[in-house]
A and B are shown apart, each in its own frame.
Chain A
Amino acid sequence: MSKQGIVTVVGLDRIGIIASVTFALAEYKLNIIDIRQTVLNEFFTMIMVVDVSASTMSFKDLQAKFAQLGEEQGLQITIQSEELFRGMHRI
């Protein structure tokens, strides 16, 4: 498993979004390296770079867990390796 992942969270803004997502990150042993958050037209948008090296879960399992959390919380959450972004945006 590669070292860094990108997590994105998008949904209608309300109290407790960061709490619920970061609680899950801690549970799955994903360490937040960087975090950026904004509210655009009532839409909460958060992007995090996380270190996944301590986690024993695969991206596939993590995606399933976060999809479930997203459904419960009314959020769209994605997690994927940082490699794709490096390939596409860095020469």
Chain B
Amino acid sequence: MSYSTQEIIETLAMIQTENLDIRTVTMGIQIADCKRDSLQDTLDQLSDKIMRFASRHVQTCENIEHELGIPIVNKRLSITPISQALPGFRSDEYVKIAQRLDQIAKELGVDFVGGFTALVHKGFTPSETALIHALPEALSVTDRVCSSVAVATTRAGINMDAVALMGQIIRQTAEASADRAGIGAAKLVVFCNPVEDNPFMAGAFHGAGEPEAVIHVGVSGPGVVLSALRGHPDASFEEVSEIIKRTAFKITRAGHLVGKLAAQRLGVPFGIVDLSLAPTNAVGDSVAEILECMGLEYCGAHGTTAALALLNDAVKKGGAMATSAAGGLSGAFIPVSEDNGMIAAIEAGALSLAKLEAMTAVCSVGLDMIAVPGDTPAATLAGLIADEMAIGMINKKTTAVRVIPVPGATAGQFVEFGGLLGRSPILPVSPFSSLKFTQRGGRIPAPIQALTN
């Protein structure tokens, strides 16, 4: 037989009991040619174009799911940042664009559409300002539209005016969706060094360097890595790294295969496989539990950052061997509300916001799906964002903040977001003010690229 019994059983066990899935197949579509003078004409063009490219997206993915016997959890779209592709509208008009995107997503059956985005790391255009001010309403009256705002890059520095503004916008967005635990803010991410080919939400958008349309794939699989490591409780770090690499290789190959087939059948180029470990609330599908499996009593204990650095690097090494199309964010995600191990660590008092921030220096992305008290001042949120942007800027990596100031909630309470977004304890923030710092205005200059200590 061309495969051993063990190989076949291993793959089936990964899918059936270890939650191996393809987290998302995301179709990127360029929409800049949809701009017309009137809003109505623009909306019509937008619908026409997205429908034309993506009408078969969901069905095609479902067919592949059945054929290969591996679940594809989400089917998504990413589009050119709206503020660049469709400039010149007012805030109320951008809300209407968001509503049209939501309607298109629902008609197509896609789970999310990303790209309600502004890139303001160096400064604002009037369109970007209008779009950002539209966010609280746009994200509360829609279900499937995701937004990202880039406020910093290593080459531009940190736009602190944008950071201060986003502190306020996040508060307002959470308050506008207060009836749903502030879920609007869970669809909004603030970026340093965003990537143009990210298939994951909330930060996906179709970047300027991308083709007309493209297929990106995001793989998952913390449960598979955890299960592999559990079989080797006394392995040395070299052996742990090898086990993770081998597992990441297999997961990535599954993603590569799905992406290749989807692109071929949809008649668009295959873009990238994002080699990310994206946890879910399913039992054992946890990045925190992988770190604990390496010998930490709880995620958050001293040693956690080192364990995460090893995990993140090994995932990339295994994945890069499996596909030449590695891209996107590629690394381990640590979204608190989506990871039962993180939640348990917080409840045990082992994991704090400060430790999470340290962890983001060595893994993919950043402070993700973190619920904080609803009365957290906008300036404190801005300070939190500024710190995370600084980590990304100095380390030349993507960092992000997706934080939800849950209206009416105080530290220690528990909030349910539902679905993939999960549930979370409310984390306390520093009680000390960042107001004067975030009010200074201007830009933190881009860092020197030499003298690297």
Contacts and interface: CB of A to CB of B under 8 A. Distances in A.
Q: Do A and B bind each other?
A: yes
B3 A85 contact: yes
B324 interface: no
Nearest to A38: B5
A2 B96 CA distance: 44
A63 interface: yes
A80 B11 CA distance: 12
Interface in B245-269: 250, 253-254, 256-257, 261
A35 B46 CA distance: 52
Contacts of A47: 1, 5, 8-9
A34 B1 contact: yes
Contact of B1 (A49, A78, A80, A87): A49
B450 interface: no
A88 B68 CA distance: 12
A88 B254 contact: yes
A63 B66 contact: yes
Interface in A27-84: 34, 36, 38, 45, 47, 49, 58-60, 63, 78-84
B7 A89 contact: yes
Given A47-B8, A81-B69, A34 B253 contact: no
Q: Is the interface of B mostly helix, strand, loop or mixed?
A: helix
A36 B1 CA distance: 8
B67 interface: yes
B43 to A, nearest CB: 35
Interface string A1-27: 110001010000000000000000000
Contact of A58 (B1, B11, B66): B66
A89 B11 contact: yes
Contact of A87 (B5, B12, B69, B254): B254
Contact of B2 (A34, A45, A58, A79): A34
Contact of A88 (B1, B11, B66): B11
B67 A85 contact: no
B3 A81 contact: no
Contacts of B66: 58-60, 63, 80
B70 interface: yes
Nearest to B62: A60
Contact of B67 (A45, A49, A78, A81): A81
Nearest to A48: B1
B430 interface: no
Which of A45, A49, A81: most chain B CB closer than 10 A? A81
Contacts of B254: 84, 87-88
A84 B1 contact: no
A28 B254 CA distance: 27
A37 to B, nearest CB: 10
B250 A88 contact: yes
Given A34-B2, A49-B2, A85 B8 contact: yes
Given A59-B66, A80-B67, A85 B11 contact: yes
Nearest to A60: B66
A84 B257 contact: yes
B1 A89 contact: no
Contacts of B253: 87-88
Nearest to A34: B1
28 contacts: A2-B67, A6-B8, A34-B2, A36-B5, A49-B1, A58-B67, A59-B69, A60-B66, A63-B69, A78-B12, A78-B69, A80-B66, A80-B67, A80-B69, A80-B70, A81-B67, A83-B257, A83-B261, A84-B68, A84-B69, A84-B254, A87-B253, A87-B256, A87-B257, A88-B253, A89-B3, A89-B7, A89-B11
Given A34-B2, A63-B66, A80-B68, 20 more contacts: A2-B67, A36-B5, A38-B5, A49-B1, A49-B3, A63-B69, A78-B12, A79-B69, A80-B67, A80-B69, A80-B70, A82-B2, A83-B261, A84-B68, A84-B254, A84-B257, A85-B3, A88-B11, A88-B253, A89-B7
Interface of B: 1-3, 5, 7-9, 11-12, 63, 66-70, 250, 253-254, 256-257, 261
